[in-house]
Amino acid sequence: MNNGKEYSVESQIWALRQYGDVGPRTFRALMSKFGSPDAIHRASIEELAEINGLGKPRLQKIFDSSDHLDEAEEFIESLKLRDIKCNTHYDGDYPAIFNELNDAPPIFFYRGDLPKPGEKTVAIVGSHNATGEGIIYAVELAARLAVQSISIVSGLARGIDTAGHVGALKAGGRTYAMIGSGLDNIFPEENRVLAAEIAKNGALISEYSPDTKSSTGKLIARNRLIVGLSQAVVIGEVFPNSNGTIDTATFCHQLGKIMFILLDGIERSEHDNSGVQKIIDLGAIPVTLEDGIDIIVKSLV
C-alpha cells in the first residue's frame, strides 16, 4: 500500500506495469473503478478483489506493486540520463489516436518527438523476407506519401518495414517506429543506424523498459500499436507465411481501420499470391503505385 509519499503519475503507472504485471486491459479495468493510479495504490486488497477476473496471485501482485514505488520513481528519473522520454494517458501530447484501441498503452517510452495533433499517419508493413523488387516498391510508396506530408509508421523489422522507414527519410519526411523491444536493445541489430535517424525525424516508441530484449510475443503486441498510431494501413509485399503481416491485417480488420494492399510486382509468374488474397479477404483495397497515392491520401480524415 502507498506509504503516503507523493509519487509521479509515471512511477505509479510503471510500478503497476513492471511489478504488478498490469497490462493495458487490466489497467483500464482498475482505472474504471478507482479513477487514478494513486487511488489504485491506496486500495486495500479487498477493494482490488472487486475487479472481476483477477485471481488471488494476481491480486496480491498488484497490491504488492505499491512496495516498489520508490524503485519505479528511480527508474523514471533515470530515463533522462538515457535520452528517453516517457508518456502516459495523463500527458497532453499522448496520441489521441491510440484511444481507438481497447488496449491502449497506459505508459510508453520514446526517443524523438511524437506526432502532432492533426498529423497524418499511414502504416506500411509487409514481409520480413521481401524481395528486392518488393522493397523498391515500398520505398517508393513511402517516399511519395512523405512528399504529401504524410508520416510513415512501421515496426523497424527487416524487409518492408525497413523500406517504409527508409522511403520516408529519403523524401525528407517523418516516420515512427513501434518496436517490440526496449529502446536500448534495437532489433534487428543492423537497424541501429536507421533507428537513430528515425529518432531525429520522428520517434522510436516502445512499451518496454530500455533493456528489454525482443520476443515473438512482444513483436506481435507491437503490431496493434502500428495500426493504432495510423489512420490507414498499407500492406506491401506479402507471402502466405507472412504471419506477422497477416496478424496486423487481421487486427486492422477487427478495428475497422481502412487498409490497402499494394499490387505492384504480384504479376510475376513465380509469385505465390495466396497471401495477397488473404489480405484482400480481410477487406484491403487493392492499389498500385500509379493510382494508389491519390486514393490513400483522400482516405485520410
Residue whose C-alpha cell is 522507414: 165
- CA dihedral 232→216→170→80, nearest 10 degrees, is 100
Check whether the bond before 188 is cis (ω within 30° of 0).
Answer: yes
pLDDT computed for residue 270 by the predictor: 60
What is the grid cell recorded at 24?
Answer: 493495458
Contact 230, 205 (CB under 8 A): no
For 9-82, CATH gives 1.10.150
CA dist 157 and 137 (Å) reads 16
pLDDT computed for residue 271 by the predictor: 64
Count CB-CB contacts under 10 A for residue 202: 26
pLDDT computed for residue 273 by the predictor: 79
Domain with CATH 1.10.150 in the chain: 9-82
pLDDT computed for residue 3 by the predictor: 53
Contact 22, 62 (CB under 8 A): yes
In the CATH scheme, what architecture does the domain 120-299 have?
Answer: 3-Layer(aba) Sandwich (3.40)
What is the grid cell recorded at 167?
Answer: 522511403
For the chain, 301 residues long, give each residue's pLDDT as a single digit of tens: 445 578 999 999 999 999 999 999 999 999 999 999 999 999 999 999 999 888 899 999 999 999 999 999 999 999 999 999 999 999 999 999 999 999 999 999 999 999 999 999 999 999 999 999 999 999 999 999 999 999 999 999 999 999 999 999 999 999 999 999 999 999 999 999 999 999 999 999 999 999 999 999 999 999 999 999 999 999 999 998 899 999 999 999 999 999 999 999 877 646 677 889 999 999 999 999 999 999 999 999 7
Domain with CATH 3.40.50.450 in the chain: 120-299
What is the grid cell recorded at 74?
Answer: 528511480
